[in-house]
Structure 1
Amino acid sequence: MNKINRLFQDNTDRKLHSLYFCAGAPTVDMVPQVLLTLQRRGIDMVEVGIPFSDPLADGPVIQAAGTVALRNGITLDKIFSQIDSIKDQVRIPLVLMGYLNVVMHYGYEAFFQRCVATGVSGCIIPDLPFDDYLNVVKPIADRYDVRVIMMITPETSAERIRLIDRHTDGFIYMVSSAGITGAQQSFGDAKVDYFRRIDAMQLRNPRMIGFGISNRQTLESAQAYAAGTIIGSKFVTLLNETRDADKAIDKLNEALAQ
């Protein structure tokens, strides 16, 4: 069974915790150390960001990390190689998150082959058109048993959400707002109403809520209406400041308690 599916199947009694970091930042060779540290510290799933020169969905924190990573010389090949070096030690699901241009340039077949070879369980491609996913990408990903995770936002129609739910597997990435990534101090009534509305749809796939989670209020608001949460910008900031995944998690846990 795919590790993503197993994670949700085996943990229906607790909220899951996923973190995102950008491969290649702050240093080019940090991927193995960060992944093994996050696993040891009890993180349930990790998203490894593939930096891109024009990241439309990313806020200033992740854009800056991507710029550093590209200057450091990180490439998709190097990311795969670093993950491959520790694949026998990694038990948690790994998800690659990157833009369509990078994956297309690498080649869909080659990309999903490398995912399987290195133990990557899924990918998120924010700018992948859904029709292209259905007709081109999904058949290849299914052949390699790799999950392609789709995103929804407060502006996604109920009809579209049902369509995504019907044709995807693993989990649905529920973006807290229609804007770019970035830490927020609170989720207002409109966002909580959105969380509640999607929860009431009783979708087949579990949902993880991301974008903006950085303290106790945002964490608990998201956890109340989903299987778990994804934290990106806050952890990227702390990792950049500390240059040490253990210290970054310590500081993140302090922030999430406030």
Structure 2
Amino acid sequence: MNRIQNKLSEKNQHAGKVGKLLSIYFTAGYPKLDETVEILQQLEKNGVDMVEIGLPFSDPLADGPTIQESSQLALKNGMTSETLFQQLKDVRKTVSIPLIIMGYFNPILQYGVEDFCKKCAEVGIDGLILPDLPLSEYKEHYHEIFKKYNLINVFLVTPQTSDDRIRQIDTASNGFIYLVSSSSVTGNSDGFDENQENYFNRVASMQLKNPLIVGFGIKDATTFKQATSKTQGAIIGSAFIKMLSKNKTLGIASFIQSILKD
């Protein structure tokens, strides 16, 4: 099994809060170009279950101002796909948790989809999240490539996604479904309202075969608990990047501990 599937299975065997998966998103090359592996090591050391490594892109669609700014800085620092792969070439000697690259499809298309997937497999990447890659395009052109390199493609659903569409995504998925908490960009929430709670309940009640992991709007222990009350896990991105901008890597341990505290 893929590391993502193993981790989800492992977390599912535990009941209560201990069984909820915490995933962290950060932008590769931020705050400094050469800190990617150090950040990954510290995240695993402090109890994070999975990490999404953001591949910076100049024209983002869903990223809020915090992640956009980190991407611009990372690009200015010199981060590219090739640089990231060079940084990750020995990462599996020190990091064992699932690693996912999250980005937009254009840089991967420019790199060459099969070449990109092959490099992912070589360095130990377990999956990709590509918000602008349509389900139909993936199924028709890229599913076999992902399968060849044992990569999980994670799809996103939003409050506007129909039940029929969600079931199509569930059928096409073999890892987890990224449950986007709102229709706004990342880093734009102060908690979850009744409409969002109803949305979480609606998707959870569909009894899908893939676990649900919530992203957008999770920033502290309270929102993590809210987001995981009906799902298997949650993703924190903007809040973690804000912490990095203030405290650099020195603040990682206390930030993660504050999320996972009882």
Normalising by structure 1, we get a TM-score of 0.96
Q: Is residue 135 of structure 2 the alignment partner of residue 130 of structure 1?
A: yes
Runs of 5+ in structure 2 lacking a partner? none
Partner of 1:10: 10
Q: Is 2:251 the partner of 1:247?
A: yes
Q: 1:59 corresponds to which residue?
A: 64
Displacement of 1:253 in angstroms is 3.9
Question: Which residue in 2 is equivalent to 1:187?
Answer: 192
1:141 equivalent among 138, 143, 146: 146
Q: CA deviation at 1:240?
A: 1.5
Q: Does the C-alpha gap of structure 1 residues 181 and 115 become closer, same or farther in structure 2, counting only changes over 3 Å?
A: same
Distance (Å, rounded) in 1 between the aligned partners of 2:161 and 2:189: 21
Partner residue of 1:167?
A: 172
Return 5+ residue gaps in structure 1 as ranges. Answer: none
Contact 2:42 2:252 in 1 (8 A): no
Deviations 1:100-158 (A, max 9, x none): 10110011110110111000000000111111111112111011110000000000000
Q: 1:92 aligns with which of 97, 120, 123?
A: 97
8 Å CA contact 2:48, 2:256 repeated in 1:
no
Q: For residues 222 and 213 of structure 2, what CA distance do their matches in structure 1 show? A: 16
* Greater Cα offset, 177-186 or 30-39: 177-186
Give aligned-pair identity as a percent. 40
- Alpha carbons 1:184, 1:218 under 8 Å: kept: no
Letter in 2 for 1:239: L
AA aligned to 1:218 is T
CA contact (8 A) 1:154 1:177 kept: yes
Q: Which residue of 2 aligns with 1:226?
A: 231
Residue 183 of structure 1, CA deviation: 4.8
Cross-structure match for 2:124: 119
Does the aligned pair in 1 maintain the 2:159–2:182 contact within 8 Å? Answer: yes
Hey, what's the Cα distance between the residues in 2 that align with 1:44 and 1:254? 15
Equivalence for 2:213: 208
- Deviating 4+ runs (over 3 angstroms): 251-258
Q: Give the Cα–Cα distance (whole angstroms) in 2 for the partners of residues 55 and 165 of structure 1.
A: 25
TM-score (normalizing by structure 2)? 0.95
Preserved contact between residue 25 and residue 53 of structure 2 (Cα < 8 Å): yes
